[in-house]
Amino acid sequence: MFESVRTNSMKLFLPLALLLFGFACGAALPPQVSRGAEVPSLAPMLDRATRGVVNISIHTSVRIRSPLHEFFGIPEERRPFRREQSTGSGVIVDAENGYIVTNHHVIERADEIVVGLADGRRVRATLVGSDPQVDLAVLQVEGDGLAALEFANSSAVRVGDFVVAIGNPFGLERTVTSGIVSALGRTGLGIERFEAFIQTDASINPGNSGGALVDLTGRLVGINTAIVSPGSSRGSLGIGFAIPSDLVQAIMMQLVEHGEVRRARIGLDVIALNPEEAAVFGVKAGEGVLVREIEPGSIGDIAGIEAGDVVTRIGTRDIGTVADYESAEAIIMVGDKVDVRAVRDGQSRKFRMEVDDKRVVEVDGDRVDPRLAGATLSDFRAAGDPQNGAGVLVVDVDRDSAAWVRGLRSGDVIDGANGRRIYFLVDLWQRIQNARAVELRVYRAGKFGFIRL
């Protein structure tokens, strides 16, 4: 049985035997020229590109777990540590500022990060920020003479394009493998929250995580992240996945500017259309995704998009699959203004989504749940921090309405539902939709109480 796994950073104490026996995998080569002409080589490009790929050493402190600790009842905080070291790869993308892109899973538990440069220097790196939902992190180092890779336009990449993977598999620094782009927009692997991977047959192995996937000009096409591997072998079978460079750039800009990714939530639940369904909704096969459901008060809801619309374009991206939609959604950030094209009743319509996280949206309660009919609800923001939710504010309640009869009053703050914390309207909607019984935790006049719907 095959499974998709991340190319996790490589433990340095792997047996030497594992390093000596490679995993067979076909490597694609550029076509040969006619007899007598110079044999084509990737060496000139690699002389430049490999200088931008670094080795990342991670030092982590892990508490020792022993049956003796349990037997003598030694608390967790008093148990000794052991130091572990692992390695991964990274790519210099901004030489002037010393920014390096790698995978989040390479550095997520690091106490210390040391970067090995192509010229042999080893420098400490600081973590600028990371995004586990896309599995990217940005590091920063200080030093002269850094060489950065230029970003390619990954949206222009085609199946069949030649690519080269550069990284540090099994601790073997700056290893190069070649292949082609096998597929685009791979999703549904269950590796990350947002998936639209470039698939390649260039050999990728443990330790390649965070390394570069480049085109034949040496430009960065993607960041190598995961492989498909049988059982526990964890070796390459020619099915590897890379995060596209367009997505890498968008996430990097957020991490550098804010230290975190201020990602917007469109609020649309979309599904693919088969050819018969596409004809019914007035679009061509492979054009658009159907909006099955929309979150009340979400950005998409405010823009005017409705359930039953077929979204065909977001910003500059044509949408033909759910993967296309998720890829476009992943790079919509707070502060963006994005045009959306959708087909409704056979007619193309244009919507403008304005992503303002400070906006307080009011929603009729029956949009959230019929049992809340008559109430007007809004996100209740934490004082002094408008980006963090603190519950759902009951703005107003009509007398004799369902919400009034059940006990809700103006000024109430709902901060829990069925035992789960509620931060935003969307949390309340997700928690109680389709629930037969609902118990709300409500803050009123300095006290907490419960209301059953």
Whether 258 is a known active-site residue: answer no
Which residue shows structure tokens 């990342």? 56
CB distance 196 to 327 below 8 Å = yes
Whether 336 is a known active-site residue: answer no
CB distance 403 to 373 below 8 Å = yes
Whether 144 is a known active-site residue: answer no
Encode burial over 157-193: b for 16+ CB neighbours within 10 A, e otherwise: beeebbbbbbbbbbbebbbbbbbbbbebbbbeeebbe
Coil, strand, or helix at residue 70? helix
Catalytic residue of the set 9, 104, 105, 427: 105
Cα atoms in the Cβ-side hemisphere of radius 13 Å centred on 194: 24
Tokens of 68: 């003796």
Catalytic residue of the set 57, 130, 154, 209: 209
CA–CA dist 66, 187 (Å, integer): 40
CA 20 to each of CA 16, 23, 85, 170, 176: distance values in angstroms, whole numbers, following the listed order: 7, 10, 21, 10, 16
Catalytic residue of the set 9, 89, 130, 135: 135
Encode burial over 77-113: b for 16+ CB neighbours within 10 A, e otherwise: eeeeeeeeebbbbbbbbbbeebbbbbbbbbbeebeeb
Pairing of strands 413-417, 212-214: unpaired
Q: Give the DSSP letter of residue 333.
A: B
CA–CA dist 16, 135 (Å, integer): 29
Catalytic residues: 105, 135, 209
